Amino acid sequence: MPRQPRYFLPDIPQHVIQRGVDRQPTFFEPQDYQLYRECLRSAAELCGCQIHAYVLMTNHTHLLITPAESQSIPLLMQAIGRTYVQTLNRRRDRTGTLWEGRYKASPIDSEQYLLICSRYIELNPVRAGMVRTPAAYSYSSFSHNAQGKPDPLITNHPVYNALADDRQERVKNYQRLFGAEIEPETLEDIRDSTNACLVLGNESFKDKLERKLGRSVRPGRQGRPRKTRDLAGS
């Protein structure tokens, strides 16, 4: 089966999922979550990545990342694979890999989906039945984004900052977004696009990515995108 393509472009946010091998645990005790956060923060600074939202589940992680360069996210994930796994193996006297071979990554149309995707990520423990509210889960960005608690991992995205000029009001406005459920169709779109490494956005956003990449980002279309009057004028 051919590998699913992934599309990395500077300044385009990505929803990244990494799962444990055979869905086995990747975190075993509280200090493992702290270790991963430390590894992620160091790797993000080194590789030029901004983390806007995250959740660390028992056997997988969700990250919302904006890369500075086209290779920033691949380098970030490689760095985490080295530092976190090696340290965890030493701590637990284990050997071998921890993560599945390939992580999933989906480019996000920030204007339309960034805040929805951030909520989707932070609500993951609720959907999994682990807690009743996202505030009750310790290993996510909810406490920063929705409660205003400092988190050195997080860099606010401009779309998040645009919720209000005042920091406290911004946090309140973000928290209010959790008063409404994410539509089932939107949940399905996020899941499908991430699992298949597809673009999450409207046709205009996909056109924009195709112009930048010089190839199609739509499933079932191969090669360079067809030139149109719109493309020629860009």
| 201 within 8 A of 112, measured Cβ to Cβ | yes
- The answer to the question of residue 110 being in a domain is yes
pLDDT tens string 121-132: 999 999 999 999
Sheet of strand 14-19, all strands in order from the earlier edge strand to the far edge: 49-56, 60-67, 14-19, 104-107
What 3-state class would DSSP assign to 16? strand
The C-alpha atoms of residue 120 and residue 128 are separated, in whole angstroms, by 12
Q: Hey, what are 10's tokens? A: 């500077």
Number of domains into which the chain is organized: 1
- What pLDDT is attached to residue 218? 87
- The answer to the question of residue 205 being in a domain is yes
- What pLDDT is attached to residue 221? 53
- The answer to the question of residue 5 being in a domain is no
- Cα–Cα distances (Å) from 156 to 70, 99, 134, 170, in that order, read 20, 28, 19, 11
The CATH number assigned to the domain holding 57 equals: 3.30.70.1290
Give the CA dihedral 161, 119, 50, 214, nearest 10 degrees: -100
| Beta strand extents in the chain (DSSP E only) | 14-19, 49-56, 60-67, 104-107
- The answer to the question of residue 225 being in a domain is no
Segments forming the whole domain that contains residue 107: 14-212
pLDDT: which is higher, 101 or 173: 173
- The answer to the question of residue 6 being in a domain is no
Q: What is the share, in percent, of the chain residues with pLDDT greater than 90?
A: 82
- The answer to the question of residue 222 being in a domain is no
Is 161 a residue whose pLDDT tops 90?
A: yes
- What pLDDT is attached to residue 223? 47
Query: Which pTM value belongs to this model?
Result: 0.91
Tokens 């992580």, located at residue: 103
- The answer to the question of residue 84 being in a domain is yes
